[in-house]
Structure 1
Amino acid sequence: MNAPLVQISAPDDKADRIAIARQVRSAGSSFYWAMRLMSPERRAALFAIYAFCREVDDIADGPLKNAEKKAQLARWHDRIDALYESTTDPSGNALDRVLKRSIMDYGLDKADFIAVIRGMEMDADGPIRAPSFEELMDYCDCVASAVGRLCVRVFGAPELAGRTVSDHLGKALQLTNIIRDVSEDAEMGRLYLPRDLLAKAGIKSTDPMTVAHAPHIGKVKQALAKQAAEEFSKAETALRACDCGDMRPAVIMMVVYRRIFERMKKDGYQTRRQSKIKRALDKAEKLWIAAKIALGGRSWRASI
């Protein structure tokens, strides 16, 4: 639970918002235009959440030694604590100030920020190699579902349905990424495929490169894809139950990723880079999906 927030008069600094928007756009996010669909106030909050996630992700994936990564992530713990505990406007930087305003305006849950940092700490402690299925789902909750829980508050979704969308859609998206990126993750020394499924497929090794090129790797991906398909289905049901709020960005993400998922399924979950490129959606297709859902306005459910 969050500590009660003291409602202070935090300045609504246009320069801060512009700085964060530029940061998000320069990061090349596939969903920049999905976030652009929202009102300026909601858009600023989403950009701040994205910028926070990008900063901690860059720490976890960066070239620093693990000890320094953990130290920098610990400093982010302190920054988040300060945003919730302080009754004065942050003077540190633009991101802190916009995050503070977003926390105040939308009641963002501190636990979700901390969960995202914990997910990055898992990578920094790693590399992760063949976790249990339960550990994998916990990781997915931290790095994806927790982000969704922050976002749906900005979307204005009802509490229960919004949380359900976040929990399932976040896992669906992250599992899709994991299935798609086995080879690329292996090159970083990471293996997110759960050891339970590896064992069932007769793969005894937990060496990332060995697993990525194992003869039965397709069986492992197929088994994990069943879980992803379940998560997509539950997310869709929860989205239809959202009777208020503007969930178009969530719908866009679901439609885009479900297309990627279906293309992977069609081509047998192959690991070749060429196969990955073929099944990836190009920018034009993503923009077409975003435009179609945007033009649907409040009737976004018809796009699911």
Structure 2
Amino acid sequence: MNQQMTSQPATFQGSASGSSFYAAMRILPRAQREAMFQIYSFCRQVDDIADSDGPRGERLAALQQWRDDIDALYRGQPPARLRDYAASVQKFGLKREDFLAIVDGMEMDVPADIRAPDLATLDLYCDRVASAVGRLSVRVFGLPQEDGILLAHHLGRALQLTNILRDIDEDAGIGRLYLPLEGLLHAGITSTDPQKVIADPALPKVCVPLVTRARAHFEKADEVMDRNARRTVRAPRIMSKYYRSILELLVARGFALPRAPVRLNKAARIAILLRYAFI
């Protein structure tokens, strides 16, 4: 999914070397950095399958092969493409169910493009494609288990909701709509056709509650990070600051037409990196 459903998982947007993910992860010690880029590579590959224009049946089969390969990895018989993962799985205690949840999340868009999911389905999607990545990541970072799970829950959802709000027009261009059905109906929008929804004057009424929800998740994530060692949460802190800045830029721009693309400029990214990377 270009730039995590197109609102692809926030942890692996674009190419690694040019992404916020890369900037946040390159500050880690070598073993942690290698594990994180393995997680990145896995996510990238299953995401590419889900987003390809190949026949849906072939994409479903390819995702199932990844499930089989993950199972083989955890049986101690990793296929070639996962052989290097064995050391990271053992060193950091990475969980099989989190890898499988990511595949399940990618698969949600394969049988048919998601359009206006209900809030429960949207939250499940966010959990699978973002918070599951977070659950793997916090083990690599070394957070205590309870706080790690909480951070993955809140930061994953905050990042994914920000992506969804940022990518409304891009997603609609490929026939996808991640805005929740309840929000559309509350705003008086009865269509789930992506092109009709993005042109509706009531669209901002759908987006405002998602902004509020994302901000609440960012705040909860901050609470978790604030009570943990600063060096342990450097990488997730950088990701959080990047995406919170993008969210506020979206709010400042507004959600009515015309909607210019929103990007965090290089100076702002560098300022965040300098402030939080070297502590």
- TM-score, normalised to structure 2, is 0.91
Does 1:266 find its partner at 2:252? yes
Show structure 2 runs of 5+ residues with no match: 1-13
Give the residue type in structure 2 aligned to 1:157: L
Give the residue type in structure 2 aligned to 1:173: L
Equivalence for 1:142: 128
2:92 to 91, 97, 106: 106
Give the residue type in structure 1 aligned to 2:20: S
Distance 1:244 1:285 in 2: 21
| Residues 159 and 175 (structure 1), Cα distance of their counterparts in 2 relative to 1, 3 Å cut | same
Give the residue type in structure 1 aligned to 2:58: E
Tell me how far 1:221 sits from its aligned partner: 0.5
* Alpha-carbon displacement from aligned partner over 1:239-277 (angstroms, at most 9, x marks no partner): 11224861111000100100011111122234545x22x
* Alpha-carbon displacement from aligned partner over 1:139-160 (angstroms, at most 9, x marks no partner): 0000000001100000000110
> Does the 8 A contact of 1:112 with 1:147 survive in 2?
yes
* Alpha-carbon RMSD: 1.7
1:92 to 75, 80, 96: 80
Distance 1:114 1:91 in 2: 16
Equivalence for 1:209: 195
1:42 to 15, 32, 36: 32
Give the residue type in structure 1 aligned to 2:167: D
1:292 to 270, 275, 279: 275
Q: Per chain length, whose mean CA-contact separation is higher, i.e. which structure has more relative contact order (CA < 8 Å, sep 6+)?
A: 2
Tell me the secondary structure at the aligned position of residue 125 of structure 1: coil
Distance 1:99 1:185 in 2: 32
Give the residue type in structure 2 aligned to 1:283: K
Give the residue type in structure 2 aligned to 1:42: Q
Distance 1:198 1:272 in 2: 19
Distance 1:79 1:265 in 2: 42
Show structure 1 runs of 5+ residues with no match: 1-23, 298-304
* Alpha-carbon displacement from aligned partner over 1:271-293 (angstroms, at most 9, x marks no partner): 545x22xx311234323311221
Greater C-alpha Rg: 1
Runs of 4+ in structure 1 deviating by more than 4 angstroms, as ranges, are 24-27
> Does the 8 A contact of 1:180 with 1:269 survive in 2?
no
Percent same amino acid among aligned pairs? 45
1:226 to 203, 206, 212: 212
Give the residue type in structure 1 aligned to 2:80: G
Q: After the TM superposition, which of the residue ranges 123-132 and 238-247 deviates more from structure 2? A: 238-247
Equivalence for 1:283: 266
Does 1:63 find its partner at 2:53? yes
Across the two proteins, how many residue pairs are aligned to each other? 266
- TM-score, normalised to structure 1, is 0.83
Tell me the secondary structure at the aligned position of residue 205 of structure 1: coil
Equivalence for 2:226: 240
> Does the 8 A contact of 2:16 with 2:22 survive in 1?
no
Distance 2:59 2:15 in 1: 25
Distance 2:86 2:253 in 1: 45
> Does the 8 A contact of 1:182 with 1:271 survive in 2?
no
Distance 2:243 2:68 in 1: 34
Give the residue type in structure 2 aligned to 1:286: R
Tell me the secondary structure at the aligned position of residue 165 of structure 1: helix
